[in-house]
Amino acid sequence: MAVVLISKSPSVLVKPSSDPATSAAITDYLSLIGLTSYDEPNVGRPVTAFLVFDRPIDDPAETIRQGLSLALVPYYPISGRLATAFLACDVLTAIDCTGDGAGVPFVAASADAALRDVDLRGHLEELAVFYPAAGDPLLRPLLMVQVTVFSCGGFVIGVTWDHSIADGAGMGQFLRAIGELARGMPSPAVVPCRHDLSLAGMPSAFVRVNRLVNSLQPSLLTLLHLAVPYSLVSRIRQQFAAAVNGGHPCTAFEAVAAVLWRCRTRAVMSESDPSAPALLGFVADTRTHAGARDGYYGNCCYIMPPVGATSGAVAGGDVVDLIWMIRRAKERIPDYYNSSMDEEDEDGRRLQELADAGLLGYGNMLGVSCWRNLGMDKVDFGGGTPARVMGYMKEGMGRLPCCVCLPCEDGGDSFSVTSLCVKEEHAGAFLRELASLA
């Protein structure tokens, strides 16, 4: 692979192309938008995604900059800043849409090599703008964008955002809107909604799960880029369908999650005895269950109360059986919104008991999220959809060992997974377990 030099131009601040307050596209303009119970826990949490386009368009940086400026009219909160708000005796965090310095920092960059000659995984830190390691979230932009054009004409757009403004599905919706407006559409195909008073509050079980995850002691984890073969996933899906007497196959995500759960549990078994818990937490989009309005792009994707089993049962179990556990957990999502508070929080209390007993940590928990249905692979700035979507995970300390399933690559023969879920001493065993299933 070629050594690549990436040159960046000075950052410019992109603002809405017209005043959102007077735009005909805005019917419910608000200068101060309160965060929901789903948004609040994500304040100051950065997320970075990369969309790789191998087909040239005319002046990618300027095309995307103009599309961004147009999209920031209907999506005006994204150009705002977080601020402290006061409601009666409560101190809240809100999005200030009128403050000085509002806008999205935008960087145009160029690379002196062709995309096909570069291993992008070794250059991700040069392909986006990142927040400083320390700093007040109230003083920084909610979104930053970099467009890097390669010598072949292909380009990479790197987007970094504060998770409080949007979850992955919401950011995918916004990026598609930039593409639509950059291609000349008069308005986005989806009318955006950020202020939604009808949104149901976050179930207490979700609150407890995410609080406990944030309280875990960090572990030094190794970054791995994994490939789960299509052939393996297809075989597992067929086995699952056969096990339910000719029923529908499981989803690809359920198959991949079960594989990762079993392989990781086997790799770290030395850290725990077979009777110790092995928990799988997965991120679910609960928009439908929370009653979110169409076009809502705030947060509604959260870690569910984890699927629970013993380490021995997961390590020695059949993958089909693990899929059934995951499937049953997914089917329970509506219950968290329909049951009484006491029934709703039973899973949360059970998890708290494990935490109090010192049974939550590196050897016992795995989180899995999926970017395959976020819509980022549908973004089109004029030359077609991305050949690849990548996430950013920095090797080092992590609280929840996790894996992210990424959209499929064009022409690939496997599902791409970015993993920060094992320590270095367990990485070899984890990779061998994956290889043994292929």
Tell me, yes or no, if 380 is annotated catalytic: yes
Alpha carbons 216 and 179: distance in angstroms, whole number? 39
In sequence order, the 6+-apart residues with CB closer than 8 A to the CB of 156 are 50, 51, 52, 53, 115, 120, 127, 147, 148, 150
Tell me, yes or no, if 163 is annotated catalytic: yes
Alpha carbons 119 and 298: distance in angstroms, whole number? 33
What element of type H or E holds 14? strand 12-14
Phi, psi (degrees; rounded to nearest 5) at 259: -60, -45
Alpha carbons 236 and 260: distance in angstroms, whole number? 13
The catalytically annotated residue of 39, 54, 96, 163 is 163
Distances (CA, A) of 241 to 235, 236, 248, 323, 415: 10, 9, 5, 11, 20
Would you put residue 222 in left (φ > 0), alpha (ψ -120 to 50) or beta? Answer: beta
In sequence order, the 6+-apart residues with CB closer than 8 A to the CB of 69 are 14, 15, 16, 17
Q: Which residues on neighbouring strands pair with residue 389, listed in sequence order?
A: 51
Alpha carbons 423 and 401: distance in angstroms, whole number? 9
Q: Please, is 220 exposed, middle or buried when counting C-beta atoms within 10 Å of its C-beta (0-12, 13-18, 19+)? A: exposed
In sequence order, the 6+-apart residues with CB closer than 8 A to the CB of 19 are none
Residues making up the chain, counted from first to last:
438
The catalytically annotated residue of 117, 321, 335, 380 is 380
In sequence order, the 6+-apart residues with CB closer than 8 A to the CB of 133 are none
Q: Please, is 428 exposed, middle or buried when counting C-beta atoms within 10 Å of its C-beta (0-12, 13-18, 19+)? A: exposed
Task: List the catalytic residues.
Answer: 163, 380
